[in-house]
Structure 1
């Protein structure tokens, strides 16, 4: 490390602020911890004569930004398409739930592994393989004959997305230096924001005009453009000191997430006390213990668990938890309600979702500006409280008719969630010593993406249980029929639930769903308030503002 700094006239130390911005924005893009650190070193050890021309750099940047746009579109597009998929292919409620969860599960659990493989075998090679697999799996999704094939291919698409994002972000870091690098990663973050904000609109228009299969054709086309423009001009880079992948830890962690997610999703259908659910959740607990033992013993662990001795680092992990429960779950559940329960068209629902997602285009920037004057921890807590207020407000709104009254609470939720969203990447590295920042971003990235999948599964299961409780009191049907109808309603299948509950009018079923959704929103608000309390208590001090200003210039104090 010292030779790299001396060999380039101290550029790394002089550009430490840029390095920190690179780490924060790069982590948001899903770079594995070793990728963030080693990519910076390799960039600063590359001579100017080795760098490509400006046009090639811009084309590589455009290529990776295109890839960044389609990834959130893949996430939100699947949610918007679920009701139309159910109408054309059928499928059980559990299978329909996996359309979104399979993608999030494989994507979140393999991000760090993909970054380690990119360091070892080459970023361009892994990016090419990941994008190729992404295009092939997405085309096959457009041709899927059943929901089962959709679930399998969505999991494969998540694997490809993890490889593409981790390696592509690290490869992008090779193409720019200094402030140009900071601007490049700023554009990458903006691309994610664009995909997240306008994904529901694009998906809604495609479904309305051409059907749900058009979403995957569109995504595959954009991904092909990214490959055509970027791959021929991208340089191959790797980490000469990479020691390979922590295979036992990776496999154990992935298996644990699979069992946990499957157990949560299956619980409403099988019952919380069924032997299958007990075995799945118990197996997940056992694998978690085994994973901790493995990571404590290997030389280069997937996750360095010693970082959890820093109380403020534990507090930072509450930031993605809060944003999952106040924002991410609504990105999936609200379109299901609008399209499947309220009978809205996909295009109208997509436009309506802009009220929730549009603040993500500007609130992270506002948060970064305010963080120079206010503690980032306090700002994040304030954002969570605003989002919780929006959730409580939304719980009082009826979605019948035009539902314009729901726009303001949705906008408030988006604005509130945007404050911690724009700060948590910097906080993740500011609360630990700077030499541990790479591993800290890796743990945070894993918590963030894997937590989204767990949050989606748990909230969907909770909604089904609340609906089941309401139906049990009003419907004269067997427990099995009530449980099945509850799951169908939780996935937005009002028509199929009505065919099971023939003794209940559709208006009564819709009312039961609305009451359940109201209770769910209040529960999400309570979780968000808890996250705000923990965040303010643990990382709300003014010292966090100073540590973010230097962005790792001093070692963080491990005390609370």
Structure 2
């Protein structure tokens, strides 16, 4: 692949041209509505997990699939969604995805068992990927240059609104109408987006997209599923158990098969040659860093606030506001700052701020009170919000405009699949530290260690105390605090590494040719690479 393909998704546009034409605002508004609704549907159920478990029962692993299943399906489907949107039309796929998302939301709302709920949530994640990626790809056809940067930063704000108010709305609905009301509300919002948004889009597709890479989709989905299952099962069965080793071996085999399938395609769903460029990999590190510095905290913290700190779902949702609210405000400001500060150092600075917040959160003691969480969560939220609105535009900018579906699909895969894996990894790390602490604290049978650790990490101290009555609630609380602290420090280290990558490998560059010398956004390697 030539170096030119790594420059922009279209002709060079002066960076000071960030105006959005009046007629384009309706198009932007359509996708913006979906950008608010989708993350709300993913985040709000997090605070509902204790209530779902109390009504439907199920193990900690089964309850985790309420979250992990949706993320795993979203991450598995995003590249396929981009390819389908390029082939069959972005507007058409946007509408189909919204219809499916609405129906599945209602199925989740009225699920009689946890198994039905988990299956419906998984399918809902795939439907959400179809709608979201098709909408983003449609939007990429409408804007160029800094106007596109501004448009995607506005979408980042929409995502932020959904994330910021998801825990609060979820907590309020649980307290007043019950956890099922969350999914009914999401279905109503989805219907609103379908009615108001879809008519505002114009149809577009890639004329060169001829066939759908079905085997690539299957191979990628199986690959990601095997990896996630291995990470989740490792602390339960032991990393050297035959089951976990089989899952890891299957992952390696399927990853090789997926790469071979994509290399053999004339029009691959994933152009794997892009990953030979350090500059392209650098952009993928941004969503991975945000996953470990922000997304996992969003999903791990409610269990501590409700189960360890003794808060209600509504109180926990309100305390999450310092973490989530910056995503609703700062992405737009971050796009404006790129007029004076390069995107790479700006993103790296944000990740450093987030790492500091994770370090402070690691040392908040159980029972310290809600105020002790505010500053660490605010720093984590601000740190993630700075690169949040810049990442999507950077991803679209590395492929030709007509392959926008592939560009958004690849990036969204790294973003959402990375989030799914990050949630599983952090859960495994937290469980591992909890198990290690229990082994040091007393002589428990291996099954008792696993059961106690699952109860602790899930915020169910009562279940943990029943599994290890000799240890006492006070000691279990302290062991949980030690495990939580160690896990947050691991996340801080990952975030700092990603910050260094962003600062070194992503920066603005001046592109000149025979006809023009406009400044445009590219991803550059440092000198000597």
Measure how far apart 1:220 and its partner are: 0.8
Higher-RCO chain (CA-CA 8 Å, sequence separation at least 6): 2
| Conserved? CA contact 1:76–1:196, under 8 Å | yes
Aligned equivalent of 1:362, options 317, 329, 336: 329
Cα gap change, 1:307 to 1:345, in 2 (>3 Å): same
Task: Tell me how far apart the structure 2 counterparts of residues 231 and 372 of structure 1 sit (CA, whole Å).
Answer: 33
Cα gap change, 1:155 to 1:345, in 2 (>3 Å): same
Cα gap change, 1:556 to 1:436, in 2 (>3 Å): farther
Which aligned pairs between 1:103-502 and structure 2 lie closer than 5 A?
A: 103-171=70-138, 187-231=154-198, 235-400=202-367, 402-428=369-395, 439-502=406-469
Measure how far apart 1:171 and its partner are: 4.4
Question: Over residues 216-251 of structure 1, what are the superposed CA-to-partner deviations in whole Å (9 max), with x where a residue is unaligned?
Answer: 111111111222333456555444432132112111
| Conserved? CA contact 2:159–2:328, under 8 Å | no
Q: Does 1:505 align with 2:495?
A: no
Task: Tell me how far apart the structure 1 counterparts of residues 185 and 450 of structure 2 sit (CA, whole Å).
Answer: 36
| Conserved? CA contact 2:70–2:124, under 8 Å | yes
Measure how far apart 1:178 and its partner are: 10
| Conserved? CA contact 1:430–1:556, under 8 Å | no
SS in 2 for 1:417: helix
Measure how far apart 1:80 and its partner are: 1.3
Measure how far apart 1:95 and its partner are: 0.8
Measure how far apart 1:484 and its partner are: 1.8
TM-score by length of 2: 0.88
Q: Does 1:101 align with 2:101?
A: no
| Conserved? CA contact 2:344–2:502, under 8 Å | yes
Tell me what 1:550 maps to. 519
Measure how far apart 1:161 and its partner are: 0.3
Question: Over residues 480-513 of structure 1, what are the superposed CA-to-partner deviations in whole Å (9 max), with x where a residue is unaligned?
Answer: 1210221232222222222222223222211111
More helix by share: 1
Contiguous gaps of at least 5 residues in structure 1: 1-11, 23-42, 44-52
| Conserved? CA contact 1:62–1:226, under 8 Å | no
Measure how far apart 1:68 and its partner are: 2.0
Measure how far apart 1:466 and its partner are: 0.8
Measure how far apart 1:373 and its partner are: 2.8
RMSD: 3.2
Cα gap change, 1:79 to 1:133, in 2 (>3 Å): same
Cα gap change, 1:221 to 1:249, in 2 (>3 Å): same
Higher mean Cα deviation, 216-225 or 183-192? Answer: 183-192
Measure how far apart 1:525 and its partner are: 1.0
Cα gap change, 1:189 to 1:525, in 2 (>3 Å): closer
Task: Tell me how far apart the structure 2 counterparts of residues 195 and 289 of structure 1 sit (CA, whole Å).
Answer: 37
Aligned equivalent of 1:85, options 52, 76, 80: 52
Higher mean Cα deviation, 218-227 or 114-123? Answer: 114-123
Q: Does 1:533 align with 2:467?
A: no
Task: Tell me how far apart the structure 1 counterparts of residues 314 and 389 of structure 2 sit (CA, whole Å).
Answer: 29
Contiguous gaps of at least 5 residues in structure 2: 1-9, 513-517
Which aligned pairs between 1:512-527 and structure 2 lie closer than 5 A?
A: 512-527=479-494
